[in-house]
Structure 1
Amino acid sequence: MTQEKSDAQLAQKVEHQSAKVLHWRLVLNLALMVFDAVVYFCVGLLVMFLSKEMDLFTTRLQLNLRISVYLYVAVCAIIWVFCAHSSGVYHRHVFADGYQLNILLLKAMVFSWVGVCALNFIMQTNVSFFSVCMTSLCVWVAEMIVRFVARRFLTYRHRKGDYAYPTVIVGSPEGIGQILKFLQQRKQLNYKPVRVCPIRVNRETGLIEADPNIEVLNTMVREFWGEPIEVIEYGDHLAGRIAQTGAQTVMVTDVLDRFSDNLSTFAVQMESLNLEIALITSALDIAEHATQMRNIQGMSIMTISLPQYSPVAKIKKRIFDIVVSSLAIVLSSWIMLIVAIAIKIEDGGPVFYKQERIGLRGKPFYIHKFRSMRVDADKHLKEVLAANGQEMGARYKLKHDPRITKVGNFIRKTSLDELPQFFDVFMGNMSVVGPRPQRDFEVQEYDPVYATRLLVKPGITGPWQVSGRNDLDEEESRQLDVSYVQDWSVMGDIVYIMRTIGTVLHPSGAY
């Protein structure tokens, strides 16, 4: 009875801590909603004042009834906030991602524009179409600026340890190290490690037990976090001991396999004390799939599918690729001309370089780029790798490749060498966004999971290019590519294009 009372007190303590975090999140979202409404209200009034449309009336039912311009703009502001909420602008996991957030703000702006146009049509007001469009555009720009400032503030507070979820990381020493590395690189996330709990599977019993290899764990913590984190030993009353640390979230990295009895038992213990479980899953986890339960003659059958692989979704992506590649070819034609002349002047060799790569479902095709290396570069690849102590493989890296020309070094850093690939996209061999196409000897090294990247068209840009490029380790690169196969969408592709623009302006890991 005493233990039950103690557990109840711990659960109440965790619930109180959770309530505090939920409180500041609610306050933040409400503040943002109010501020968004004020921004729209002010911008709308300013546009209508400059357009000399402050004298507002409706001609509905042939009656010229005056309408308060302040009431009208207030209603439009409410429509804007509603559309922003419906678009996911206020979701906590979106707020830290500036690119994705700006796309969602654009989506909300389009929806609110439609809503305001519908309002004007129903009320038959004398508000001009120009005013509606200009207000929507100005509000979108203003909101991006507001979110940028707010994001900087929250990131600063996160670095100070505020507004964060105290977290206990559970897993193998190696798994804990990888998560600490991830959290260290992404300070804007609101998980703050307060304890680590190393575990392993007992080979004889199949049960979970404490991993005694503390030396490896300490090495991982020092390397990836930079400061010591106290260890909490796996064992009896673990949930209670975690709750006593003040933690709110338990992050499971590995060892505890999904759908296993070990994980189910562990999760029940944690959740009984109101501790949140954050489970790190495989990039191909079926949780991302659309599921449907059916009961056929007493048998329950769950069907799963990925909506983005439907014929309609594929047609949308192809249309998107054609439109984007056409615009890119037209707008960058003068840049491509200058690059071509510079390459020709430097050594008189061919302007373009083509190479066989492996595309959709393993089908070979030729990729086209501006030549950035000397003419005989391919013949010397093995000897250059050998000189740098590397072998031919899917993830060889050369920071200082002697085969690269002076012009080639510049166009690689600025990604101008990739421009001819828009012709490959237009012809249908590639997509604007997707995993990078690789050579046959690289594809031969794929394991079954990594081979799923061949289920989508290779792209000019993608998750690897905007997340560090060659500075990423092999596991991170694989995870990004496989994740793209799992959850690509046209809206997601737009986010990657925006990130690519930022990467080109501030190149990182390009060599």
Structure 2
Amino acid sequence: MSRHAPGDKPSLAAARPQHPGGTKPAWYAPLTVGVDVAGVLLPLAAVHLATGRPHPLVTATVAAAGWLLLRCAHRRYAHRNLAESRGLLAALHDWSLLVGLLAVLRVLGGESSPPLTSLLALLPGLILTAATGALLHRHLTAERRRAHALRRVLLVGETPGAEDVAARLAAGTDHPYVVVGVVPVGSGSPAFGVPVCGRLAADAPATEPHDGPLLLEAATRLSADLVLAVPGAHLCGERLRRVGWALQDAGLPLTVSSGLTDVAPRRLAVGGAAGLGLLHLAPPTRRGGATALKTALDRTGAGLGLLLLAPLFALVALAVRLDSRGPALYRQRRVGRHGVPFTMWKFRTMVRGAERLRPQLEESNDAHGGPLFKLRRDPRVTRVGRLLRRSSLDELPQLLNVLVGSMSLVGPRPPLPDEAAQYTPTEARRLRVRPGMTGPWQVGGRSDLSWDEGIALDLSYTDNWSLTQDLDILARTARAVTGGRGAY
């Protein structure tokens, strides 16, 4: 262990060797800014020049500057935020504010030309910004799969809590953290294969002077970018505070795990009282304007979908009838919101009497645990039925369920009554929201997911629902359906 004189403040930045691939590519920021500027400045200037409007370059420059200011105000160019999400909803939000800002400036400036032309000229900016965000997110995801652009984490905490945090970080690919070492507090050795780099005594006093130097030495040896502390009975209060002082004085960030899991960041707010750091947890959104808007969008979308897709409905129904004997539509009893049963409609994809054949196929169940029944090569599925399932066209009649309010466009899949009867109290929480035609299961792998994985996605959706999340899932559903992954 390295020793320091009492007055010394060791600099970790000077001692720590640089490791390759530890940060995002440096070209992310200039590319994003350049595309944002060009996407607004060039089309707007070109349109104003072509239509003979006065001061086209000044107008385009003001619009581009406003666009950059809005994006900066929302920290879109911050290194920690770049490429962390696809950015479509963020771009749409910022673009809407830009249109409103320019509309106010237009009124104040007495501009009387038709506004539609300018609005259309601003569309390339939205499209280019959203496309750039999506491409950079895909690039960053690929980089992290190659172990690049990651933050090396030294974990410190009591063994059970540290093991849980390390397991969750190892299981996810949507974050930049990779655990490179652990410093247990007290007895016990973590069983997740990460090197143990020292140990903090469990019964040490809060003023223990050796905690910080030990963590600094381990972080330097591992080239760690930050220390992630998992508080517990022996690492909290004054002791954790002093650890933070030692690390931050040496230039090493400290992150503290809250112990909460599967909670969207927007539901969390930091506060304080009596010197305590408090984390406020907002309840899930169950009522109010957002849910009313969701219902309105569901009904409107279902009505338009039924109207526009009527010719496709007729063709699919004809194909089902010609392929095998039986009706084109199939109805099945499902369990909806708050456990209320309803009749769900689908295009028939199986032979008549398929339910009577299920007991003979129970031993071949391909579902990964739980009460779900799925067969990858179900002999009851017809030729047309296989095509309909792979393309998800068999789900289209559920637009009728959305129109009458028993389902939503987005939500957990509605279970069969015998499945719901086997739910634990935790699993039954997914019935607190209206089931959907598509949802986290559809964009997360469909039938390839295990029971526990599917339930985890549904519970996360149920507790953290937001309208923007629904729009994101709808956008991702098209790609999931086109790929056909997990559809059988």
TM-score, normalization by structure 1: 0.78
Quote the residue 2:195 is aligned against: 231
Distance in 2 of aligned mates of 1:77 and 1:233: 51
- Number of residues paired by the alignment? 460
> Is the 1:357–1:367 contact (alpha carbons within 8 Å) kept by the matching residues of 2?
yes
CA offsets, 1:64-121, max 9 Å, x none?
xxxx3212211111222233345664464572432xx122212222221222222111
> Is the 1:434–1:462 contact (alpha carbons within 8 Å) kept by the matching residues of 2?
yes
> Is the 1:251–1:280 contact (alpha carbons within 8 Å) kept by the matching residues of 2?
no
> Is the 1:172–1:198 contact (alpha carbons within 8 Å) kept by the matching residues of 2?
no
Matches within 5 A, 1:439-450: 439-450=416-427
> Is the 2:170–2:178 contact (alpha carbons within 8 Å) kept by the matching residues of 1?
no
Distance in 2 of aligned mates of 1:467 and 1:182: 13
Q: Residues 506, 49 of structure 1: CA spacing in aligned structure 2 closer, same or farther, 3 A cutoff?
A: farther
Structure 2 letter corresponding to 1:81: L
Quote the residue 1:408 is aligned against: 385
Equivalent of 2:255 in 267, 273, 277: 277
CA offsets, 1:142-175, max 9 Å, x none?
2233334444554455455443312346766676
Matched, 1:95 2:83: yes
Q: Residues 152, 354 of structure 1: CA spacing in aligned structure 2 closer, same or farther, 3 A cutoff?
A: closer
Q: Secondary structure at the match of 1:466?
A: helix
> Is the 2:325–2:352 contact (alpha carbons within 8 Å) kept by the matching residues of 1?
no
CA offsets, 1:326-370, max 9 Å, x none?
122122222111111111111120111111111111111111111
Matches within 5 A, 1:45-194: 45-50=45-50, 52-53=51-52, 55-56=53-54, 68-86=55-73, 89-90=76-77, 92-93=80-81, 95-98=83-86, 101-155=87-141, 157-159=143-145, 161-168=147-154, 176-177=166-167, 179-183=169-173, 186=174, 189-193=175-179
Distance in 2 of aligned mates of 1:365 and 1:453: 16
Matched, 1:357 2:334: yes
Once the two structures are TM-superposed, the CA of residue 36 in structure 1 deviates from its matched residue by 1.1
Once the two structures are TM-superposed, the CA of residue 418 in structure 1 deviates from its matched residue by 0.7
Further displaced range: 265-274 or 468-477? 265-274
TM-score, normalization by structure 2: 0.81
Once the two structures are TM-superposed, the CA of residue 123 in structure 1 deviates from its matched residue by 0.6
Q: Secondary structure at the match of 2:332?
A: strand
Cα root mean square deviation, aligned: 3.7
Q: Secondary structure at the match of 2:346?
A: strand
Equivalent of 1:399 in 376, 383, 404: 376
Matched, 1:374 2:347: no
> Is the 1:11–1:272 contact (alpha carbons within 8 Å) kept by the matching residues of 2?
no
> Is the 2:181–2:222 contact (alpha carbons within 8 Å) kept by the matching residues of 1?
no
Larger helix share, 1 or 2: 1
> Is the 2:85–2:133 contact (alpha carbons within 8 Å) kept by the matching residues of 1?
no
> Is the 1:433–1:458 contact (alpha carbons within 8 Å) kept by the matching residues of 2?
yes
- Identity score, percent: 23
In structure 1, the gaps of 5 or more residues are: 57-67, 200-206, 219-229, 296-300
Distance in 2 of aligned mates of 1:427 and 1:84: 40
Quote the residue 2:204 is aligned against: none
> Is the 1:307–1:313 contact (alpha carbons within 8 Å) kept by the matching residues of 2?
no
Once the two structures are TM-superposed, the CA of residue 397 in structure 1 deviates from its matched residue by 3.5
Q: Secondary structure at the match of 1:163?
A: coil
Distance in 2 of aligned mates of 1:148 and 1:286: 21
Distance in 2 of aligned mates of 1:374 and 1:121: 65
Matched, 1:504 2:468: no
